[in-house]
Structure 1
């Protein structure tokens, strides 16, 4: 089986896996805030730490489903959209992991404590612990980027889907001679009237 034939299912699975991981990750705890006032720890889910995580993950799932039936030109557009999404989400996740995640916990801390403003939030936060979910999600964005690259490199050579549903003049070959019941059913299947 050639790379072009294997590329479509591999790319679709890559899109769906990355999108599913993003959706699941958006509901899991990414950051745990230990409070300086000895209050209960605050758990920050992925959707709060990275607000665009859930909607863009849903978009990636939709791109994967569309990729499974898309034509040649649309495949390239879907590959470009997926690559841009992977780069954006990967960069955002990487910034959260390597930078100061105080901004990522701000909304959840404000909702829990009622305190607003960066100075007030900084006074409440004693430490922030990062879970494994952002790292796993970052791997998912690398998978999405690789799948998008696969689409962009091999997408032109994929076979087009849906040809069996088209009626072309090339399929309209009538044999000379008597027409039997099977030929009539075949003509009906192709969309032609066998009685003419």
Structure 2
């Protein structure tokens, strides 16, 4: 169960980060124009500027969590909760009531006009696509996985045991030592020439 808890947490965090990265390149908002010209499309990274960087950070946190020690697991869990809170708030704002300011750059680029008066004149309606809802679901999963990390991290097995066991087994081997084995022996304070005598 402990191994499954770690794997489930890490995979969920990595999945949420990957969804964030993919969604940052997709259309999140469609801006309907009052001048009957074709609508403006706003990508996720433009609608929510923290989307791509925080999604990358979540991916990194998930990768580090896979090999982290006991104390670092709690730090990473708290950081992931903070990232999910920021992403949840920003995505919910865009999904349930996108502010007019989100369209400002797209309107300025398409028309050459800027300012509040231009926005109110040109923008008829801002409609979210399905991507903000997908991202919001990913952030909820991310939050749940982060809380799960905090509750289960204490019981996770240490990641370095496998390597320590392999290293200890090598020292008990009576076979010939190569140059790397000799350096490892020296690093641990053992004289590798003693075994050869």
Same fold (TM over 0.5): yes
Looking at structure 2, the residues matched to 103 and 139 of structure 1 have their Cα atoms a distance apart, in angstroms, of: 24
- In the other structure, the counterpart of 1:91 is 89
Cα deviation code 1:89-111 (max 9, x no counterpart) = 00111112223431222222222
* SS of residue matched to 2:114: coil
> Does residue 29 in structure 1 map to residue 27 in structure 2?
yes
Question: Does the aligned pair in 1 maintain the 2:98–2:126 contact within 8 Å?
Answer: no
> Does residue 183 in structure 1 map to residue 178 in structure 2?
no
Matched ranges for 1:102-181 at <5 A: 102-166=100-164
Q: Which moved more, 1:56-65 or 1:34-43?
A: 34-43
Question: Does the aligned pair in 2 maintain the 1:33–1:126 contact within 8 Å?
Answer: yes
Question: Does the aligned pair in 2 maintain the 1:12–1:68 contact within 8 Å?
Answer: yes
Deviation for aligned residue 1:116 = 1.1
Cα deviation code 1:118-168 (max 9, x no counterpart) = 22112111111210100000000011111111111111111111223338x
Looking at structure 2, the residues matched to 12 and 185 of structure 1 have their Cα atoms a distance apart, in angstroms, of: 40
Matched ranges for 1:12-51 at <5 A: 12-51=10-49
* SS of residue matched to 1:184: coil
Give the alignment's TM-score, normalised by structure 2.
0.85
- In the other structure, the counterpart of 1:72 is 70
Looking at structure 1, the residues matched to 98 and 48 of structure 2 have their Cα atoms a distance apart, in angstroms, of: 13
Give the alignment's TM-score, normalised by structure 1.
0.85
Looking at structure 1, the residues matched to 77 and 141 of structure 2 have their Cα atoms a distance apart, in angstroms, of: 13
Q: CA RMSD in A?
A: 2.6
**Residue ranges of structure 2 left out of the alignment (5+ in a row):** 186-191
Note closer, same or farther for the CA distance 1:65–1:173 as it changes in structure 2 (3 Å cut): closer
Deviation for aligned residue 1:185 = 5.5
* SS of residue matched to 1:183: coil
**Residue ranges of structure 1 left out of the alignment (5+ in a row):** 175-181
Paired residue total? 187
